[in-house]
Amino acid sequence: QWLMVHNGDIAYARGYGAIWHSFFDRIEPLASRMPYMTTIGNHERDWPHSGDRYGGKDSNGECGVPYMARTPMPRPSGPDKPWYSFKFGPVHFVQLSTEHEFGRDSEQFSFVMDELDHKVNRTATPWLIFGFHRPLYIDSTYDDPKVNSSDQVVARELRDAFERVFLEYEVDMTWVGHHHSYQRTCGVFESKCVPKDASDGTERAPVHVVLGHAGANLCDNLYKKKPDYFEVVENTKHGFTKVEASRTSLRMRSFDTEGGLIDDFTLKARKHHH
C-alpha cells in the first residue's frame, strides 16, 4: 500500500491553468493508483488582502481557489481552512497550512491541540508525522526582519507555536518544503540535537525533513557552514523520497532523478509516555 504526500507549491501554476493541467497529466500514472495528499503553499495561496498570513504576491492572484478545487482534501474546519488529519497504515498524519494563522490563539492551533489530545492513538498508529509547507528548521540565509515571510522569521514563529508541543506529544517528524533543497535534521529541540534514548536508540525529539527538491529551481542560499543540527543538506540534485513504515521502524530514502541515493536513514518507534 502506497500513498503520495506533497506539501505545498504543488504545480507552481501561479494563475496559469495550463500549468495545473500539465502537472496533473504528469502525475496521473501515480496519482490515479494511490492516494495523493497535499497541503497548501505560498504559491497556491498568498495574495494581498486575501486573508493569508503574509499578504505577498506568490500565488499571482490564485488565492488558493484552483488549489482547493483541484485537490479535494478533507476540510473539516470549512472553506479556506485547509488543515486536516488522516491515518494511513501505522502513521497518523496531521496536515497544516503555514499560509494561515498558526499562533497559539489561532483556530488552526486549536485544531492541532484537539487532534493531539483526542484523536491520536499511538497504539493504533505508532508514528505521528506533521506535514506543512514552510519549515521549522531551515539552512537558509534568508533572514530579513522587515520581510514577514522570510525563511528564518517564519521558522522562528513556527518554533514558538509548535516546537514544545511537538516535543511533549512525541511527534516523530515534520515533512515540509518551501526551500528548494533536501535537508534533514537530527532529533532537535531549541536548535540543539537531543541525544537518542540510551536504552533503545530511539529519537527523543522530532526530526525535520525538507523535501523541496522535487522540481522547481534549486536554492543556493545556504549558510557557508551548515548548522550543527542538520545531518544532511543537498541543494544540487532534484529528486524524490520513499518511505517504508512498519509498526516498529520507519525507513526514509531520498533519491536523485537518476536513482542515486541522497539520504537513507531509519527511525525506531519509541515507547510512548503521553
pLDDT digits (tens, 9 = 90+) for 232-263: 999 999 999 999 999 999 999 999 999 999 99
Grid cell at residue 113:
491541540
Quote the pLDDT of residue 274: 58
With respect to residue 274, please indicate whether it lies within any of the assigned structural domains.
no
With respect to residue 187, please indicate whether it lies within any of the assigned structural domains.
yes
With respect to residue 143, please indicate whether it lies within any of the assigned structural domains.
yes
| C-alpha span between 38 and 18 (Å, rounded) | 20
**156 and 190 Cβ atoms separated by less than 8 Å:** no
pLDDT over 90 for what percent of the chain? 98
Check the CA dihedral 143-144-145-151 and report its sign. negative
pLDDT digits (tens, 9 = 90+) for 16-67: 999 999 999 999 999 999 999 999 999 999 999 999 999 999 999 999 999 9
**140 and 151 Cβ atoms separated by less than 8 Å:** yes
User: Strand, coil or helix: what is 153?
Assistant: helix
With respect to residue 68, please indicate whether it lies within any of the assigned structural domains.
yes
Answer whether 0.95 is exceeded by the pTM. Answer: yes
With respect to residue 273, please indicate whether it lies within any of the assigned structural domains.
no
Considering only CA atoms, which of 62, 55, 70, 90 is closest in space to residue 21?
Answer: 70
- Structurally, the chain folds into a number of domains equal to 1
| C-alpha span between 256 and 238 (Å, rounded) | 6
Find the domain containing 236 and state its range: 4-268
Any idea what the CATH number is for the domain that residue 242 is in? 3.60.21.10
- 95 phi, psi to nearest 5 deg: -110, 125
**127 and 91 Cβ atoms separated by less than 8 Å:** yes
Quote the pLDDT of residue 272: 75
| C-alpha span between 114 and 142 (Å, rounded) | 33
**24 and 17 Cβ atoms separated by less than 8 Å:** no
Please check the confidence at residue 101 and state whether its pLDDT lies above 80.
yes
Check the CA dihedral 163-209-187-96 and report its sign. positive
Quote the pLDDT of residue 89: 97
pLDDT digits (tens, 9 = 90+) for 56-71: 999 999 999 999 999 9
Please check the confidence at residue 210 and state whether its pLDDT lies above 70.
yes
With respect to residue 159, please indicate whether it lies within any of the assigned structural domains.
yes
- Opening angle at CA 238, ends 233 and 242, nearest 5: 80
pLDDT over 70 for what percent of the chain? 99
